[in-house]
Structure 1
């Protein structure tokens, strides 16, 4: 009588994928624990979490009224300079506009030579005029909604936190300064070096650190330079200090392609 082959008992060691204690941030964004009552470990920061139902939800949050005032001010500036900068003062229109419109719509028969509609539409003031016809009602309606939302928060005694609001607006000035520094560095270091340095710096500044993110920043910066300078031939400063310190052949190559 032969003894049946003995099978080894299944291994009790849990695999890394099934072990709740194991977590690989590159594989999954979050990990469900074995106990359904335990909390979920997630890689997503709290400020970046959202519900799928709120993805397209429009809400007026902090800064909406301030932004609405800025938009009204911008449109007011456009209105002030509209007549002097768009050719509105030298516009050419028919003397009797009502008769002209009736002729164009076929309501009445034309008498004599009628100005072509295309000649009117090609004038420089037409496109800005159409834009203002859309912008002015839009900013006024948005300002009205922002003001009503602000009044509702004031009635409910919701704290406005002006310091926080102003601080958030001032934080944008930091990146404006980075952009100004970048534009000033292009005539000195060249488009290639400036873009690579700025791409790596901004990546680290936003919190993406490590060799992996450094490689991604370098590849992205090089791709931008090749696309805009080498392929599309976007104009950049020619008299670059760094390139002038190099041999003539190398300098000419870099000025032409990078």
Structure 2
């Protein structure tokens, strides 16, 4: 037997842990995009409105800002479910990996792409809890294969590491070009 719901029951909303934090951050991000929209997208003279390069980005950012504002209002008026601190800490734990990636990007010009990539993949493997010999070997092989595919195979230009200048002359040129 199906039960009909009233309008209020249909749109009843509880504020989940972290919902208010997300709503504030997302609205802030939307307002940041809105403030920078004029410098990022052009409005041209003698062009139809819908053909303007800035028209659809403007529609999208205004729509995102409007719905982010509604989300924030909905979060503020909804009854709160406890557990916000636990949810916030969980979000911060995921930012840990962004910091690891920034350290990796910072280290590439210093120690080189090959060494940085192998150390980064090895570190992440150990950090995720895979400490067996097979996992370590696979991690090193993965790092080596990434370097070979991007640097040698696809010839992506990545600046050589400062560390390469200390290599012998016969190896230095090869390392700067392929590693």
SS in 2 for 1:182: helix
Is 1:65–1:143's contact at 8 Å kept on the other side of the alignment? no
The residue that corresponds to 2:163 in the other structure is 242
**TM-score (structure 2 length as normaliser):** 0.76
Within the alignment, does 1:140 sit opposite 2:66 as a pair? yes
Q: Is the 8 A contact 2:17 2:84 kept in 1?
A: no
Query: CA 1:216/1:77 → structure 2, altered by over 3 Å: closer, same or farther?
Result: same
Query: Which residue in the other structure is 2:9 paired with?
Result: none
Match of 1:223 in 2: 145
Kindly indicate whether the alpha-carbon contact (under 8 Å) linking 1:65 and 1:147 is maintained by their aligned counterparts in 2. no
Q: Which has the higher helix share?
A: 2
| Alpha-carbon RMSD | 2.8
1:130 corresponds to 2:85:
no
The residue number in structure 2 matching 1:253 is 174
Displacement after TM superposition at 1:79 (Å): 1.5
Note the 1:128-207 alignment, pairs <5 A. 128-138=54-64, 140-141=66-67, 144-145=70-71, 147-148=73-74, 151-154=77-80, 158-159=81-82, 161-207=83-129
Q: Which structure 2 segments of 5+ residues have no match?
A: 1-14
Alignment of 1:1-258 (within 5 A): 61-88=16-43, 91-93=44-46, 121=51, 126=53, 128-138=54-64, 140-141=66-67, 144-145=70-71, 147-148=73-74, 151-154=77-80, 158-159=81-82, 161-238=83-160, 240-258=161-179
Stretch moving more, 61-70 or 140-149: 140-149
The CA deviation at 1:194 is: 0.4
Kindly tell me the number of residue pairs found equivalent between the two proteins.
166
SS of the aligned residue for 2:45 comes to coil
Kindly indicate whether structure 1 or structure 2 has the higher relative contact order, using CA contacts under 8 Å at least 6 residues apart: 2
Q: Report how far residue 165 of structure 1 moved.
A: 2.8
What is the TM-score of this pair, normalised by structure 1?
0.55
